Amino acid sequence: MAWEPPAVGARATWTRTITADDVQAFARISGDRNPLHFDVAFAERTKLGGLIVHGGLTTALFNALVAEVLPGPGSVFLHQEWDYPAAVPIGDTVTAEAEVIEARADKPITRLRCVARRSDGTEVLRGECLVYTMRPE
C-alpha cells in the first residue's frame, strides 16, 4: 500500500461529550485521582469553580482523530507539544480539530496543528503533533 500524503491545509474534527463515567474510567486506567476531578467541595473552592476533565482525556480526542480520520488508520504519534489554556468541565462537549501543516512525500510523516474547543468556543488545548502512518507490507 503506497503512501499518499494528505494535502497541506486538509482538516478534520473529532467531537465528544466527556462524561463523569469517562473521568472515572480514565482514573481507573491512569491512577490519577486528583481532587479537581472528583472532590466537588475541593474543586468549587479553586479558581476553576467545579470539577474538570483530566487533560489526558482532552488529548485522547486527538488519538482518535489521528487514528481514525487524519491521516487515518495505522497512524501513531512521534511527537506532541500541547498547551492547555483552559479547563473542560465534566459533561462538556469538546471538538478537536487538526490541520495538516506539512506532509512528507518520501515518508509517511505528517505534521498537524491541533486545537480543541469547548462547546462555548473556549480553546482548551493547542499545539502540534508529528504523526507516522504505518502501512502494511
User: Would residue 73 count as lying in a domain?
Assistant: yes
3-class SS at 23?
helix
pLDDT of 134 above 80: yes
99, pLDDT greater than 90: yes
Residue 34, in any domain of the structure: yes
Residue 4 lies in a domain: no
CA 18, 21, 27, 28 dihedral sign is negative
Residue 6 placed within a domain: no
Paired strand residues for 97: 13, 115
With respect to residue 45, please indicate whether it lies within any of the assigned structural domains.
Answer: yes
Total of domains in the chain: 1
What pLDDT score does 136 carry? 86
Give the largest CA-CA distance in the chain: 55
CA atoms within 13 A of residue 56's CA, in its CB half-sphere: 14
- Cβ-count burial of 112 within 10 angstroms (0-12 exposed, 13-18 middle, 19+ buried)? buried
1 within a domain of the structure (yes/no): no
For helices 55-68 and 20-30, angle between their N-to-C axes, nearest 10 degrees: 90
- CATH classification of the domain holding 22: 3.10.129.10
Cis before 71? omega within 30: yes
Q: What is the pLDDT of residues 48-90, one digit of tens each?
A: 999 999 999 999 999 999 999 999 999 999 999 999 999 999 9
Q: Can you give the pTM of this predicted structure?
A: 0.94
Q: Is residue 115 part of a domain?
A: yes
pLDDT above 80 (res 1)? no
**64 in a domain, yes or no?**
yes
Domain, as residue range, for 89: 11-133
All 3 cell numbers of residue 118? Answer: 469547548
